Structure 1
Amino acid sequence: MKRIFFITVLLFSHLLTFGQDLKFYNDSFFPVEYKRKLNPFYFSESKESETKIEECFYTLTDTTLIRKRVFEKGKDGNIISESIFKFNSGGDISFEVIRNLQTGFTVSKELNSEGKTIYQKVFTGNLIHDEVYFDENGNEIEKLNEQLPEPHLGQLGWNTYISQNIRVPKEVRYLKKVTRVNMSFFINESGEIEDVEVLNPEEIHPALASEATNLIRNYPHKWTPYTLNGEIKKKEIIVPIVFNILGIVNRN
């Protein structure tokens, strides 16, 4: 009861501060209503101007800022780019992704605790155009010995798992189109999947976001973990889950 009262006071304070309606999300950033049985983990507040839309995400327990999403507008008011910033426990940016919605090019960066870029990648879809590593002083260094995470039986095994287990929710059969759900998750040092997240929840039906999240979470095998210069590290994976509503047969 004390926890519920404390959270209520924090949320009321935020409403007074920002004057905005709050949105609530579960641990996968999937939108939910603020009900105890739905167990929301995060809430967000949004600000919109003539040039951009900014949404900040906070933990529900102590209102710690953990993520920010920014949509830049063009002269005609349409969205032209999307930026996602993730923050560490100290409040510093640890990861950022900037996606040009007109060209399809995406730039992702990993930053150290001092805010310096240690890794940068430029890609479109699954095609990597440029990949650069930096030392602690910001100087470009050669990529020495890197082994990317790999699913059981490789990419073929992953694709087979997806094709055999993907389902089209009943709620979206009327859409009659191909829908792409962009997913992010991490492979930890033990090769396990964790921190599954939908990157474009505002663009897709909630039922598809839920299905894609469960599809990845229920993957039955461990991955080969990521290694860099012989050291096993946690690594983010970004993959699309594509629902061809015209072509996929729904299995109940």
Structure 2
Amino acid sequence: MIKECGKDLYWPWWPSKGATSGLVDICGFEKPAYYFRKAIWTNEPVVYIAVETDSTAKDWFNCSFWNWPKVLPHWNHTTEGDTLAVHVYTNLPEVELKLNNKSLGTQYWDLDKHAFLIWNVPYSKGTLEAIGTLPNGEKKTFKLQTAGKPAKIKLVADRHELKANQQDLSYIKAFLLDENDVPVPFAENAIKFEVTGAGTLNATGNGNDKNHACYKEEQTKAYLGKCLAIVQSGSEKGIINVVARSKGLPYSNVEIKVE
């Protein structure tokens, strides 16, 4: 379920321009609740960590069809020693949580008893890791690492080949990473997209409900360390070159083939 735009225009949450429910935001970035549903509704092994951003995350009972506790997948907190609720969404029977390679204990998942697992963890920067054990003994892990300052842009295109029909689209996600390739969760750098060759820039956005910038702008600010550009094919075959630039960072580029 993707969130819709415009539902809250006359609701008390203005200037938010969309409902807070939905498993992905208006740009298609998955929210933590997406991974909870994925764990419940699919047979694919899932282990995913989300950390509280306010006290709604401390209890299972704050979950509903329309609301989800305020959690985010990052391990960047301001105060050492603060106790944070750490959610693990999984469909594996056993999960161990580690902080900086020190075990914080093992919990056993049973959907009949609770929807997901919660640890209360005193914050210490470093690496938070959930290790799930499949019934056959294989392991599946998920890690969060404390990020530094933005150092680079990573571009990820969902399609690298388009048809020359003036309709095909490639959705290109831009992520701000630190020098160790760790996503920077609260980076808000402005990113400008330059598109040349066999296509055009169709739209940009960042998934922020309160972002009222025009989707047709070639520049957008990152939100939660990421943003999106949509590129559209032209009528002729060739290569679309997409370059992302942000002040003080090296540029990043990706090529899309048009046939």
TM-score of the aligned structures, taking structure 1 as reference length: 0.27
TM-score of the aligned structures, taking structure 2 as reference length: 0.27
Q: Which has the higher contact order (CA 8 A, sep 6+)?
A: 2
Name whichever structure is richer in helix by fraction.
1
